[in-house]
Amino acid sequence: MDNFLIITNEIKDDDFRVTRRLEELLRARDKSVERFEGQQISAKTDCAIVIGGDGTLLIAARLLVDKNIPILGVNLGTMGFLVEVRVDELADAVDHLVRDDYFIEERMLIRGELMKAGETVRTTFALNDLVVAKNSALSIIRYNVIVNGRLLYSYNADGMIVSTPTGSTGYSLSAGGPIVEPTAELFVLTPICAHSLGARSIVLSSQDRVEIELSKVRRNIRPQGTVVSDGISIGELFCGDRLVITKSPRKTKLIKLDQVSFLETMRRKMNV
């Protein structure tokens, strides 16, 4: 690798101390490096190094979705399932990169289409999850979950999470969903605070087409929801609107510097 792009969370590295240290390490090894400041990303970029937390890496993954550029994360956050390099490991990490001593782990992305009156008004991609959530704290919404054109279930709930395996340790886990090995390819559907004793997470094939539709709970009420893609709101849903979710043909490439298993990482970070 010779050409590097640094994407920095300016809140977590507010004085750019870690960013400057990384630049110095790369340039000392005669590598080209630039910071991302909203510019067009060069086709020559070999690697993007993300400085921040998992949220920063999710933003970078969306930014690079069409670029096929592998990503390495430097952890300035807390849990850090996606960003694996500690600040005190920077020099060692750079040595691994310049020696091409690493492996790449491909992660599934999901594609979401926000549909109104049968027309797609917004398309998004997510590495972690797509969420349909209610706007009002004082109401519930009825969600119809349709799989491959057939109604699977209707939930009265605060929301619905459709997670990738990567996202199974995020919001889905907090809502009671299962933990999934991150290189698997499947969907995890988890209702948020469902008003039903029988509501559970459902695991579906990545080849399925999942639609989440808002419907009326009571007459004369028009509930309203929000679609959230990897933590960022992308649009509103009204009765009859749908979020259509499919597996994306694109993938995110994460750089791994060691062979520590996902189960070992989970045990270390979650004390299980």
Positions annotated as catalytic residues are 54
**Structure-derived torsion over alpha carbons of residues 176, 177, 178, 180, reported in degrees to the nearest 10:** -140
Q: How many CB atoms are located within 10 Å of the residue 219 CB?
A: 5
User: Rounded to 5 degrees, what angle do the CA atoms 112, 119, 138 make?
Assistant: 65
Asked if residues 33 and 23 have their Cβ atoms less than 8 Å apart, the reply is yes
Contacts of 14 (CB under 8 A, 6+ apart): none
The dihedral through the CA atoms of 170, 172, 174, 176 has a sign that is negative
Strand-pair category, 47-52 with 32-35 = unpaired
Write a three-state SS string for 131-161.
Answer: EEEECCCCCCEEEEEEECCEEEEEEEECEEE
Asked if residues 85 and 72 have their Cβ atoms less than 8 Å apart, the reply is yes
Between CA 19 and CA 25 the distance in angstroms is 10
